Chains A and B, each alone.
Chain A
Amino acid sequence: GDSVTQMEGPVTLSEEAFLTINCTYTATGYPSLFWYVQYPGEGLQLLLKATKADDKGSNKGFEATYRKETTSFHLEKGSVQVSDSAVYFCALSGSGGATNKLIFGTGTLLAVQP
């Protein structure tokens, strides 16, 4: 079945460092890809999305490009802030059926130190 694999955390960075969180997927069709963020004690918030190959999603300085040839959707940010500390989830949907349900990776904890 469809699945998402994320790099394990925690990822610990100093403020203003460059961030990459790797995400690869397995899907039988042409899924949409997402990054969700979960701050401590809160639910999930959509960070960015891409719906077809070569699309780039971007929001709040974060970017990810839908790479069909490598089945990847890596999350990047040029300069992280302490306020970016959270758990980041890569997810896919729409590969098959009409549910549009999301399939998530296990999440990557990002800790940014001042």
Chain B
Amino acid sequence: DTGVSQDPRHKITKRGQNVTFRCDPISEHNRLYWYRQTLGQGPEFLTYFQNEAQLEKSRLLSDRFSAERPKGSFSTLEIQRTEQGDSAMYLCASSFLLGDTIYFGEGSWLTVV
């Protein structure tokens, strides 16, 4: 059984450009989460999907951020008009049922220059 996979692992972009990250959850996991982790801090919740429905979004998720999960399988997180403050690691996680263990991917590092 493969774990949660994320792509790309590292992305360097110029301020103002758009970036997109992809997450493939563990097969059959219907709950998918996105978190953001900055240096020296713990991960912070961004958004959550149950199947294809986006059920919760954090106030951290500004209008420049959008997440999708078409067909309830993989998910994408897009950041438009990137700013230097967006530099962080973006973590994807998945679980099967409410209360089950949440498994994390290795993260996608974003550096905005």
Residues of A within 8 A of B (CB): 4, 32, 36, 42-46, 49, 51, 89, 91, 93-94, 97-107
Q: Range of interface residues on chain B?
A: 20 to 34
Judge whether B31 and A102 touch: CB under 8 Å.
no
A105 neighbours in B (Cβ, 8 Å) = 42
Please name 9 pairs of A and B residues whose Cβ atoms are closer than 8 Å in the assembled complex, sorted by A. Answer: A43-B104, A46-B101, A46-B102, A46-B103, A91-B42, A100-B95, A100-B98, A102-B33, A105-B42
Whether A107 lies near B99 (C-beta < 8 A) is no
Besides the known contacts A98-B98, A99-B56, 12 further A-B residue pairs in the complex with CB atoms under 8 A apart: A43-B106, A44-B43, A44-B93, A102-B45, A102-B102, A103-B45, A104-B44, A106-B40, A106-B41, A106-B42, A107-B40, A107-B42
What is the minimal beta-carbon distance from A94 to any residue of chain B, in angstroms? 7
Q: In the bound complex, how far is the Cα of B43 from the Cα of A32, in angstroms?
A: 17
Could you tell me the distance in whole angstroms from the C-beta of A50 to the nearest C-beta in chain B? 13
Q: Is the CB of A44 within 8 A of B104?
A: yes
Q: Is A102 touching B43 in the complex (CB atoms < 8 A)?
A: yes
Chain A residue contacts of B33, Cβ below 8 A? 101-102
Q: Is the CB of B48 within 8 A of A101?
A: yes
Contact A101–B45 (Cβ < 8 Å):
yes
Smallest Cβ distance from B53 to chain A, in angstroms? Answer: 12
Q: Chain B 28-42, CB within 8 Å of chain A: the 1/0 string?
A: 000101010000111
